[in-house]
């Protein structure tokens, strides 16, 4: 599984650095380094409300520190179990 976190200017202003850092932490905490690759991406075309990420081919907008953990559990952890 590949997770792309947008680091474009709009998402950067919306805390993409912290979202990326938290994703990295969650991947490590759940020992998913062999299954999940975390990659930066430039503008994914979903600028606006929160950070945009892409999990494989699925674009997800509105990501932030308030929902990144729940999102990780629902979309990443469940898929890797």
User: Interface with ligand FES by CB under 6 A: which residues?
Assistant: 6, 8-11, 43-47, 52
To the nearest whole angstrom, how small is the minimum distance from the Cβ of residue 14 to ligand FES? 8
Interior/surface letters 46-77, b for 16+ CB within 10 angstroms, e for the rest: bbeebbbbbbeeeebbebbeeebeebbeebbb
Q: Cβ 81 to ligand FES, closest distance in Å?
A: 29
Q: Which residue is nearest to ligand FES (CB)?
A: 8
- Do 52 and 70 contact (CB within 8 A), yes or no? no
Closest separation in Å from C-beta 10 to ligand FES: 4
């Amino acid at each position: 599984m590949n997770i792309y976190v947008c680091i474009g200017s709009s998402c950067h202003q919306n805390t993409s650095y912290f979202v990326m850092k938290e994703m990295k932490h969650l991947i490590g905490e759940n020992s998913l380094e062999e299954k999940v690759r975390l990659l930066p991406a430039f503008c994914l075309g979903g600028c606006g409300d929160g950070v945009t990420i892409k999990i494989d081919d699925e674009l997800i907008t509105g990501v932030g520190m308030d929902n990144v953990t729940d999102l990780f559990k629902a979309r990443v952890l469940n898929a890797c179990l």
